[in-house]
Amino acid sequence: MTGLMGLLSALAVLPLLLIFGYLVLKGASSLNLDFFLSNPVPAGQTGGGVAHAIVGSGIIVGLAALIGLPVGIGAGIFLAEYGSGRLGWTVRFVADVLNGTPSIIIGIFAWTWIVRPQGHFSGLAGAIALAVILIPLVARTTEEMVRLVPHPLREAALALGYPRWRTSLTIVVRTALAGIVTGALVGVARVAGETAPLLFTALGNLNFSAHVNEPMQALPLQIYVYATGPFPEWHRLAWAASLVLILLVFGLALVARRVAANRYGAR
Amino acid sequence: MATGVGAAPATGADAARRMTRGTNPADRTYQAVLTGLALLLPALLLALIVELAVNARPTIERFGWGFVFNSTWDPVADVYGAGPLIFGTLASSFVALLLAVPLAFSVAIFLSEFAPHWLRRPLGFLVELLAAVPSVVYGLWGIFVLIPLLRTFVVPPLKAAFGWLPFFQGVFYGNSMMAGGIILAVMVVPYIAAVSREVLHAVPSSQREAALALGATRWEAVWMAVLPYGRAGLVGAVMLGLGRALGETMAVTMVIGNRHDISLSLLQPGYTMAAAIANEFSEATTSLYLSALFEVGLALFVITVLVNAAARLLVWRTAPGRAVGSRAL
């Protein structure tokens, strides 16, 4: 039975190896300086790169982190520190419900709230959509991490005459910082790969644009367009862009794991 | 202190852990700021529901419940029925769970009960990475690797052996319910596995020890003591995976075929609610068309909320207060 379990477990992770293998096989050969530094060429021609999408993804995800992380982390600290009452229960439950909400729905929500009133698609709208996904995610991981801090630490600080807010911020949250950073990185890695919420917000852009008030390209959007398009050249670029995206996401996940391991040791 | 199902376990230590109300202004400000940030979450959820409902109203008033059961989707005649979408969403998720649950439970049981210790961390990490692969990359892989594989190696033998079943009728062109279901299965395995593992961890070791003391083998202890103890939580884990599968968009859109049809055959194209929104939202030219897509969104939202709420309550029965699913292994 142990053998069967092991076999099935291996079968479960087999797709990961297959996916990663194909990405390297089909994408690695297209990764050159041109790919990273140039913008797309007209459809049908060969060459071109995804510089615009890499920059766009960076801006959109960066903005999303800037908006989402403070709110999410703050809400998480609230849940851990003051969240034992009815309000805490509600916020916790709402966070879990939002975490389970399909990202495409967050996308049309951002469209009605930002794109429709403004009258145009924008990178900013995409960033806000991603921030909405990030907030509940980070709130829950932050809460878990702050809860791990041993209670005597807090008592010691209070006994030394620290006010509660300083105890909470400089002792409790400080102790949990590595865990909070881990949660934040994992959250950012997850939204960096999101496509659906960007479809009707950032929209995509075939040209280079760094204006947050204009339609902006992002790596996942570009992959979607290239993968579903008719040209073999596009497919080649889609594989390469996917390899870049997945390396980025895995990189963030690895850094997150490092941060956590340094603090808590093996888990 | 609240004693709702989801509240943190009300142990003595936890009651003490709770911050008491501060008396000086700085403490009050700190608490007020944090409370304000936390209140943004319910506000967001409320805004989301109101926005969806308001925008969906025209179709709700026009078609009523017929929207859910009708299978005509004709933007030219401005007639909308989401029957095929709802069917496709449920069917693809069902196929996904059928494939994913045995795998995910195996991973969870193997990782928490049987795997040698040196293997647990790397294997857990691999499963975690599986959860981190972006949806659109799964879609790309589905189009160019999975579908050709199915066409050459899977569908012909299936048709030869089970071609008489209604599930394997018709010609296989590639984009199909089967491809969508398999991609979804791969995607939800890590979620179900992660939560199941948390649930198994929450089973007290006294349960295992009691069974072992009675002469059970390790496998019997798992089968007869650990799994029944965690049953509610494991069902919750599956429902959590279901919630994911129902709302998954990009990968499914790319491989399921996107046709407003109800077909029992896994080889035929289908459509899901999320995929319809992704494909048609920007083409919605009439206001009723747009409203119909909002109603699809509203229905999808309501279904996922119900499934997720049930999942959480079930998981919390075994593992109270855990942030299920927001953290991989």
- A interface test, pick of B326, B327, B329 with most A CB neighbours within 10 Å: B326
Q: What is the ipTM of this complex?
A: 0.92
Q: What is the DSSP letter of A160?
A: T
Identify which of A78, A140, A151 has the shortest CB distance to residue B35: A78
Question: Among B9-13, B26-30, B179-183, B210-214, which is the least confidently predicted range?
Answer: B9-13
pLDDT classification of B252: cutoffs 50, 70, 90: very high
- Is it the case that residue A265 has pLDDT exceeding 70? no
pLDDT band for position B284 (cuts 50, 70, 90): confident
Please classify residue B2 by burial: count the beta carbons closer than 10 Å to its beta carbon, then call 0-12 exposed, 13-18 middle and 19+ buried: middle
For chain A, say whether B294 makes contact (Cβ under 8 Å).
Answer: yes
CA-nearest of B238, B103, B117 to A5 is B103
pLDDT at B180: 96
pLDDT tens profile A112-140: 999 999 999 999 999 999 999 999 999 99
Burial group, residue A51, by CB count within 10 angstroms (0-12, 13-18, 19+): middle
How far is the C-alpha of A73 from the C-alpha of A77, rounded, in Å?
Answer: 6
Which chain B residue shows the shortest CA-CA distance from A179?
B327
- DSSP-based three-state secondary structure for A48: coil
Percent of chain A with pLDDT over 70: 98
Q: Which of A22, A24, A69, A89 is the best mutation test for B, with the most CBs of B within 10 A?
A: A89
Q: How confident is the model at residue B14 (pLDDT cuts 50, 70, 90)?
A: very low
168-197 of B, contacting A, C-beta below 8 A = 186, 189, 193
Cβ of residue B39 closer than 8 Å to a chain A Cβ: yes
pTM of the model: 0.91
Q: Where does the pLDDT of residue B127 fall: very low under 50, low under 70, confident under 90, or very high at 90 and above?
A: confident
Provide the chain B residues 64-103 that lie in CB contact (below 8 A) with chain A. 102-103
Cα separation, A107 vs B258, in Å, equals 20
In this complex, do A199 and B278 lie within 8 Å of one another by their Cβ atoms?
Answer: yes
- Give the whole-angstrom CA distance, residue A154 versus residue A20: 45
Q: Residues B167, B263: contact at Cβ < 8 Å? A: no
Four-residue CA torsion sign, B62, B68, B72, B78: positive
Do A90 and B35 count as a contact with CB atoms less than 8 A apart?
Answer: no
Contact B189, B100 (CB under 8 A): yes
- Is the pLDDT at B149 greater than 90? The verdict is yes
- Amino acid identity at B44: L
Residue for token pair 């919605």: B284
- Band (pLDDT 50/70/90 cuts) for residue B18 is low
pLDDT of residue B41: 96
C-beta separation of B329 from B128 below 8 A: yes
pLDDT at A110 over 70: yes
C-alpha dist (Å) from residue A146 to A71, A188, A258, B201, B260: 15, 19, 18, 20, 48
Amino acid at site A35: F
Residues 6 or more apart in contact with residue A4 via CB below 8 angstroms: B106
**DSSP H or E stretch at residue A35:** helix A33-37
**Residue contact A82–B31, C-beta within 8 A:** yes
Q: What is the mean pLDDT of residues A92-118?
A: 93
Over the stretch A198-243, which tens digit does the pLDDT of each residue have? 999 998 888 888 888 899 999 999 999 999 999 999 999 999 999 9
Inter-chain contacts counted by CB atoms under 8 A, chains A and B: 305
How many helices, marked H, and strands, marked E, lie in chain B?
16, 2
Q: What's the rounded Cα separation, in Å, for the pair A254 and B38?
A: 29
Decide if A84 and B2 are in contact by the 8 Å CB cutoff.
yes
pLDDT surpassing 80 at residue B321? no
Give me the percent of chain B exceeding a pLDDT of 70: 90
Interval B30-48 mean pLDDT: 95
pLDDT of residue B47: 95
Tokens for A176, please give them. 């949990």
Name the residue among B278, B293, B246, B253 with its Cα closest to residue B81: B293
Average pLDDT in chain A: 90
Rounded CA separation B241/B24 (Å): 46
Alpha-carbon dihedral angle through residues B314, B317, B322, B327, given to the nearest 10 degrees: -40
Residues B194 and B328: their CA atoms lie apart, in Å, by 6
- As given in the structure block, the two tokens for residue B40 are 């943004």
Smallest CA-to-CA distance from A133 within A103, A109, A96, A94 is with A103
Instruction: Determine contact, residues B123/B190, Cβ cutoff 8 Å.
Output: no
